[in-house]
Protein backbone atom coordinates (compact mmCIF):
# COMPACT_ATOMS: atom_id res chain seq x y z
CA UNK A 1 0.00 0.00 0.00
CA UNK A 2 1.42 3.36 -1.04
CA UNK A 3 2.12 5.97 1.59
CA UNK A 4 -0.20 8.98 1.62
CA UNK A 5 1.39 12.07 0.09
CA UNK A 6 2.99 14.54 2.44
CA UNK A 7 1.18 17.49 0.90
CA UNK A 8 -2.21 15.85 1.40
CA UNK A 9 -1.35 15.12 5.03
CA UNK A 10 -0.29 18.73 5.68
CA UNK A 11 -3.59 19.95 4.22
CA UNK A 12 -5.62 17.43 6.20
CA UNK A 13 -3.89 18.43 9.43
CA UNK A 14 -4.67 22.09 8.74
CA UNK A 15 -1.02 23.15 8.39
CA UNK A 16 -1.30 24.00 4.69
CA UNK A 17 -4.09 25.15 2.39
CA UNK A 18 -4.67 24.03 -1.20
CA UNK A 19 -3.24 27.21 -2.72
CA UNK A 20 -0.07 26.99 -0.67
CA UNK A 21 0.32 23.34 -1.62
CA UNK A 22 0.12 24.13 -5.31
CA UNK A 23 2.68 26.92 -4.91
CA UNK A 24 5.00 24.58 -3.00
CA UNK A 25 4.64 21.82 -5.59
CA UNK A 26 5.48 24.30 -8.35
CA UNK A 27 8.57 25.45 -6.47
CA UNK A 28 9.56 21.84 -5.84
CA UNK A 29 9.20 20.93 -9.52
CA UNK A 30 11.30 23.92 -10.57
CA UNK A 31 14.15 23.52 -8.08
CA UNK A 32 14.00 19.83 -7.22
CA UNK A 33 13.81 20.27 -3.45
CA UNK A 34 11.94 17.90 -1.18
CA UNK A 35 8.44 19.11 -0.40
CA UNK A 36 9.17 19.04 3.34
CA UNK A 37 12.01 21.52 2.95
CA UNK A 38 10.13 23.59 0.38
CA UNK A 39 7.14 24.34 2.62
CA UNK A 40 9.48 25.34 5.46
CA UNK A 41 11.66 27.58 3.30
CA UNK A 42 8.56 29.19 1.81
CA UNK A 43 7.33 29.75 5.38
CA UNK A 44 4.09 27.91 4.74
CA UNK A 45 4.79 25.51 7.64
CA UNK A 46 7.08 25.25 10.63
CA UNK A 47 9.62 22.45 11.00
CA UNK A 48 7.56 21.05 13.86
CA UNK A 49 4.43 20.90 11.69
CA UNK A 50 6.29 19.17 8.87
CA UNK A 51 7.81 16.64 11.26
CA UNK A 52 4.36 15.83 12.66
CA UNK A 53 3.11 15.21 9.12
CA UNK A 54 6.15 13.07 8.28
CA UNK A 55 5.57 11.01 11.42
CA UNK A 56 2.01 10.41 10.31
CA UNK A 57 3.13 9.53 6.79
CA UNK A 58 5.81 7.05 7.85
CA UNK A 59 4.34 5.74 11.09
CA UNK A 60 7.62 6.48 12.88
CA UNK A 61 7.92 8.48 16.09
CA UNK A 62 9.79 11.78 16.38
CA UNK A 63 12.88 12.51 18.45
CA UNK A 64 14.65 15.72 19.45
CA UNK A 65 18.27 14.81 18.71
CA UNK A 66 19.62 18.05 20.14
CA UNK A 67 18.42 16.90 23.57
CA UNK A 68 19.90 13.40 23.29
CA UNK A 69 23.18 12.50 25.10
CA UNK A 70 25.19 11.64 22.00
CA UNK A 71 28.93 11.15 21.68
CA UNK A 72 31.78 9.10 20.13
CA UNK A 73 30.87 6.10 22.30
CA UNK A 74 28.03 5.41 19.85
CA UNK A 75 30.20 5.37 16.72
CA UNK A 76 30.97 1.60 16.86
CA UNK A 77 27.26 0.83 16.52
CA UNK A 78 27.18 1.87 12.86
CA UNK A 79 29.99 2.50 10.34
CA UNK A 80 30.45 6.21 9.66
CA UNK A 81 30.18 5.80 5.89
CA UNK A 82 26.78 4.12 6.17
CA UNK A 83 25.58 6.61 8.78
CA UNK A 84 26.45 9.60 6.60
CA UNK A 85 25.21 7.99 3.39
CA UNK A 86 21.79 7.14 4.83
CA UNK A 87 21.53 10.03 7.26
CA UNK A 88 21.23 7.65 10.20
CA UNK A 89 22.39 8.36 13.76
CA UNK A 90 22.90 5.38 16.12
CA UNK A 91 21.22 5.97 19.47
CA UNK A 92 21.38 2.71 21.43
CA UNK A 93 20.95 -1.05 21.29
CA UNK A 94 18.03 -2.92 22.79
CA UNK A 95 16.92 -6.50 23.32
CA UNK A 96 18.18 -9.28 25.58
CA UNK A 97 21.10 -9.94 23.24
CA UNK A 98 21.49 -6.37 21.97
CA UNK A 99 20.08 -7.53 18.66
CA UNK A 100 18.09 -4.33 17.97
CA UNK A 101 19.64 -1.01 16.92
CA UNK A 102 17.69 2.20 17.53
CA UNK A 103 18.54 5.03 15.13
CA UNK A 104 17.37 8.50 14.17
CA UNK A 105 16.91 9.09 10.45
CA UNK A 106 15.76 11.77 8.10
CA UNK A 107 12.50 11.27 6.22
CA UNK A 108 11.38 9.35 4.33
CA UNK A 109 13.54 6.59 5.93
CA UNK A 110 12.82 4.09 3.15
CA UNK A 111 12.90 0.33 3.50
CA UNK A 112 16.03 0.26 1.33
CA UNK A 113 17.78 2.63 3.75
CA UNK A 114 16.66 0.59 6.75
CA UNK A 115 17.88 -2.61 5.11
CA UNK A 116 21.28 -1.04 4.42
CA UNK A 117 21.60 0.20 8.01
CA UNK A 118 20.49 -3.18 9.40
CA UNK A 119 23.01 -5.05 7.27
CA UNK A 120 25.90 -2.71 8.11
CA UNK A 121 25.16 -2.77 11.84
CA UNK A 122 25.05 -6.55 12.04
CA UNK A 123 21.84 -6.35 14.06
CA UNK A 124 18.69 -8.34 13.46
CA UNK A 125 16.45 -5.30 13.38
CA UNK A 126 16.55 -1.50 13.27
CA UNK A 127 14.00 0.76 14.95
CA UNK A 128 13.93 4.23 13.35
CA UNK A 129 12.92 7.57 14.83
CA UNK A 130 12.51 10.66 12.67
CA UNK A 131 14.49 13.90 13.00
CA UNK A 132 14.95 17.05 10.91
CA UNK A 133 17.95 16.98 8.55
CA UNK A 134 19.91 19.75 10.29
CA UNK A 135 19.51 18.03 13.65
CA UNK A 136 20.81 14.80 12.13
CA UNK A 137 23.85 16.61 10.72
CA UNK A 138 24.63 18.06 14.15
CA UNK A 139 24.19 14.61 15.71
CA UNK A 140 26.50 12.97 13.16
CA UNK A 141 29.09 15.57 14.04
CA UNK A 142 28.82 14.74 17.73
CA UNK A 143 29.05 10.97 17.17
CA UNK A 144 31.63 10.72 14.39
CA UNK A 145 33.54 14.01 14.19
CA UNK A 146 34.02 14.91 17.83
CA UNK A 147 31.93 18.07 17.54
CA UNK A 148 29.90 19.50 20.39
CA UNK A 149 26.51 21.15 20.51
CA UNK A 150 24.52 22.58 23.38
CA UNK A 151 20.83 23.46 22.82
CA UNK A 152 19.82 26.97 23.91
CA UNK A 153 19.23 27.16 27.62
CA UNK A 154 15.78 28.04 28.87
CA UNK A 155 15.42 31.50 30.31
CA UNK A 156 12.63 33.19 32.31
CA UNK A 157 10.27 34.93 29.91
CA UNK A 158 6.90 36.60 30.05
CA UNK A 159 3.86 34.39 29.75
CA UNK A 160 3.43 33.53 26.04
CA UNK A 161 0.28 34.65 24.31
CA UNK A 162 -1.50 31.35 23.84
CA UNK A 163 -5.10 31.72 22.58
CA UNK A 164 -6.73 29.80 25.41
CA UNK A 165 -10.05 31.54 24.81
CA UNK A 166 -10.69 29.79 21.50
CA UNK A 167 -13.58 27.36 21.40
CA UNK A 168 -12.62 23.70 21.41
CA UNK A 169 -14.31 23.15 18.04
CA UNK A 170 -11.91 25.64 16.48
CA UNK A 171 -9.06 23.30 17.42
CA UNK A 172 -10.62 20.13 16.06
CA UNK A 173 -9.20 18.57 12.90
CA UNK A 174 -11.48 16.15 11.09
CA UNK A 175 -9.91 12.73 10.75
CA UNK A 176 -6.81 13.67 12.76
CA UNK A 177 -5.96 11.35 15.64
CA UNK A 178 -3.57 12.54 18.38
CA UNK A 179 0.10 12.06 17.54
CA UNK A 180 2.34 10.70 20.31
CA UNK A 181 6.05 11.31 19.80
CA UNK A 182 9.04 9.62 21.42
CA UNK A 183 8.78 11.93 24.43
CA UNK A 184 5.54 13.88 24.41
CA UNK A 185 4.67 15.39 27.82
CA UNK A 186 1.36 16.67 26.43
CA UNK A 187 0.04 13.25 25.42
CA UNK A 188 -1.53 12.36 28.80
CA UNK A 189 -3.50 15.64 28.92
CA UNK A 190 -6.03 14.61 26.27
CA UNK A 191 -5.67 17.83 24.27
CA UNK A 192 -6.50 18.00 20.57
CA UNK A 193 -3.53 17.93 18.20
CA UNK A 194 -4.05 21.55 17.14
CA UNK A 195 -4.10 22.72 20.77
CA UNK A 196 -0.90 20.79 21.46
CA UNK A 197 0.64 22.36 18.37
CA UNK A 198 -0.09 25.86 19.74
CA UNK A 199 1.66 24.92 22.98
CA UNK A 200 4.66 23.40 21.17
CA UNK A 201 5.06 26.49 19.00
CA UNK A 202 4.97 28.79 22.03
CA UNK A 203 7.49 26.58 23.85
CA UNK A 204 9.88 26.67 20.90
CA UNK A 205 9.57 30.42 20.41
CA UNK A 206 10.19 31.17 24.09
CA UNK A 207 12.75 28.37 24.60
CA UNK A 208 10.91 26.80 27.50
CA UNK A 209 9.38 23.43 28.33
CA UNK A 210 5.89 22.68 27.04
CA UNK A 211 4.68 22.01 30.58
CA UNK A 212 6.07 25.41 31.61
CA UNK A 213 3.99 27.04 28.87
CA UNK A 214 0.85 25.46 30.28
CA UNK A 215 1.79 26.59 33.78
CA UNK A 216 2.37 30.18 32.62
CA UNK A 217 -0.96 30.25 30.80
CA UNK A 218 -2.79 28.94 33.88
CA UNK A 219 -1.03 31.53 36.06
CA UNK A 220 -1.98 34.30 33.64
CA UNK A 221 -5.59 33.11 33.49
CA UNK A 222 -5.80 32.83 37.28
CA UNK A 223 -4.44 36.33 37.79
CA UNK A 224 -7.00 37.75 35.37
CA UNK A 225 -9.79 35.89 37.13
CA UNK A 226 -8.63 37.19 40.48
CA UNK A 227 -8.45 40.75 39.11
Q: Is the pLDDT of residue 161 over 90?
A: no
Q: Which residues pair with 80 in a beta bridge?
A: none
10 Å CB burial of residue 24 (0-12, 13-18, 19+) is: buried
Q: Is the pLDDT of residue 165 over 60?
A: no
**What's the CATH class of domain 65-144?**
alpha beta
Q: How far is CA 130 from CA 16, 36, 59, 176, 211, in A?
A: 21, 13, 10, 20, 23
Given pLDDT bands bounded at 50, 70 and 90, which one contains residue 217?
confident
Q: For the segment 175-205, what is each residue's pLDDT rounded down to a tens digit? A: 344 444 444 555 556 666 666 677 777 666 6
Domain limits, the chain? 6-50, 65-144, 168-226
Bin 168: left if φ > 0, else alpha if -120 < ψ < 50, else beta: alpha
Most confident of 23-27, 172-176, 222-226: 23-27
Q: How far is CA 155 from the centre of its chain?
A: 23
Q: For the segment 101-126, what is each residue's pLDDT rounded down to a tens digit? A: 999 999 889 999 999 999 999 999 99
Q: Is the pLDDT of residue 224 over 90?
A: no
The reported pLDDT for the residue numbered 190 is: 62
Q: Which helix (H) or strand (E) holds 27?
A: helix 18-31
Amino acid sequence: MARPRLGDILVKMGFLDAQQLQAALGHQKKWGYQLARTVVEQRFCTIDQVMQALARQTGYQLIDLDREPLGPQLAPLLPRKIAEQHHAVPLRVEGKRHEVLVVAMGAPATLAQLDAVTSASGKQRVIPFLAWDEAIERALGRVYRGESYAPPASAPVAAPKVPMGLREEEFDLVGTEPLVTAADPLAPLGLSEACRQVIRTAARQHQMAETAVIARVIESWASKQGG
